[in-house]
Amino acid sequence: MGSAALFHLARRRRRVLGLERFDLVHEYGSSHGLTRIIRLAYWEHPTYVALLRRAYELWRELEGLAGEPLLHITGSVDAGPEGGPIFQGALRSSELHGLPHEVLDGDELHRRFPGYRLSKQTRCLYQPEGGFLLPERCDVAHVTQALDLGADVRCREPVLEWGAASGRVWVRTARGRYEAGRLVICAGPWAAKLVPELARLAVPERQVLAWLQPSRPEYFQPGAFPVFNLEVEEGHYYGFPSFLIPGFKFGKYHHRREQVDPDATRREPEPEDEELLRAFAGRYFPDGAGATLMLKSCLFTNSPDRHFILDRHPDHPEVAIAAGFSGHGYKFCSVIGEVMADLVHADRPRHDIEFFRLDRFAPTA
Ligand SMILES: Cc1cc2nc3c(=O)[nH]c(=O)nc-3n(C[C@H](O)[C@H](O)[C@H](O)COP(=O)(O)OP(=O)(O)OC[C@H]3O[C@@H](n4cnc5c(N)ncnc54)[C@H](O)[C@@H]3O)c2cc1C
């Protein structure tokens, strides 16, 4: 989110400084792991679809500027019981926004995409525009373009504190002190460490992803295997075709429901993580459930309603915050960059972001 904000601000000819506590690409936050799903039939809420359309447009534009592929189309599957939130939500978004889609049962899905072995009763919405992004390359592309436009980027420079007064902001880092007209805070799992008001509203949670070696690799190639969101009795899962690593990749939303401190979390995957994930693959994707090739931990940052927080700071209108992406934010980075640039430099944001206001969590009388 920070890389995209940097790019959009630089593009508007603002003098902009990007500060990152680790390296330009690192594995301590939320944006590593080679692939991230992007999908239009948004089961979480139809309000996201307008932002998604713009996100696709901006990802394609960034690809053109970077001269490398960043977004791969595979189609997407949103599946689960007939009355469950994933299938019903995806159907609602598709119908409301006129998205091309097909509804299949589990057997029909298997005939079309043989890697999937869901029960016949499973209702599956297929949407042809789903796919995946390459997050590390996308972050680098945003930063490269911002640098070309004159932005200043400093990594290995943690922000220690910030303040705002008389329409100006200041930031103290491990290496110096800066003053500016505006501040954009996109700190991922560390959001509440920089903005204490977010303590209960942006809560880090430990996740683990698996890549397993398929016994039928041809079933798990990008052309044969759409990305998925799936509701089964064990919970909600998501997955990808093999790409860059020769393995079927997937994870479970809210994996072991472990809230953590991002500075003290267990990053090394454990046997319990692997067992939980392997059991899922063995049951629903048996041709993808061979030897483990890779496990990686990562962090979600959950808001109470699992929707994003995009707003100005309640006491400092010159400070904008992007937080609480709740495990589904990456696909939106390109458009969130534009939103953050608007929040600090436009009277009226071009996108309708009322749904994401911070004060929706304010205690009511
Ligand atoms: C396992 C996993 C799978 C996911 N799958 C998907 C998916 O398929 N599709 C999808 O759309 N989304 C997915 N998500 C969610 C998505 O990746 C996140 O919503 C998104 O990456 C959040 O980006 P961010 O910029 O908020 O956080 P981050 O990428 O963590 O960036 C925050 C940055 O701020 C820096 N920072 C923090 N504090 C300071 C400080 N004090 N000073 C300087 N720098 C600081 C951090 O080092 C970090 O680089 C997934 C997340 C995980 C963990």
pLDDT tens, the chain, 365 aa long:
999 999 999 999 999 999 999 999 999 999 999 999 999 999 999 999 999 999 999 999 999 999 999 999 999 999 999 999 999 999 999 999 999 999 999 999 999 999 999 999 999 999 999 999 999 999 999 999 999 999 999 999 999 999 999 999 999 999 999 999 999 999 999 999 999 999 999 999 999 999 999 999 999 999 999 999 999 999 999 999 999 999 999 999 999 999 999 999 999 999 999 999 999 999 999 999 999 999 999 999 999 999 999 999 999 999 999 999 999 999 999 999 999 999 999 878 899 999 999 999 986 54
Residue 331 Cβ < 6 Å to ligand 1: yes
265 is catalytic: no
- Please, where are the H alpha helices in 219-324? 271-284
Do the Cβ atoms of 218 and 114 come closer than 8 Å? no
Show the tokens assigned to 121. Answer: 């009763």
Q: Cβ(321)–Cβ(358) under 8 Å?
A: yes
- Residue whose CA lies nearest to ligand 1 atom number 2: 298
The answer to whether 145 and 4 have CB atoms below 8 angstroms apart is: no
Q: Is 339 left (phi over 0), alpha (psi -120 to 50) or beta?
A: alpha
By most ligand atoms within 8 Å of CB, the mutation choice from 71, 186, 249, 330 for ligand 1 is 330
DSSP single-letter state for residue 243: B
Q: Is 252 a catalytic residue?
A: no
The model's pTM = 0.98
CA of 189 to the centre of ligand 1 (A): 7
Tokens of 304: 């109470």
The 3-state DSSP class for residue 87 equals helix
For residue 140, what are the CA distances in angstroms to 17, 20, 308? 16, 13, 23
Ligand 1 atom closest to Cα of residue 238 = 8
Please tell me the distance from the alpha carbon of residue 232 to that of residue 355, in angstroms, as a whole number: 29
Q: Which of 11, 12, 21, 32 is catalytic?
A: 32
**How many C-beta atoms surround the C-beta of residue 218 within 10 A?**
13
Give yes or no: 254 in active site.
yes
Catalytic residue among 8, 14, 36, 182: 36
Q: Which atom of ligand 1 is nearest to the CA of 208?
A: 1
Task: Tell me if residue 35 is catalytic.
Answer: yes
Terminal C-alpha separation, the chain: 34
The CA 4 to ligand 1 mean position distance, Å, reads: 12
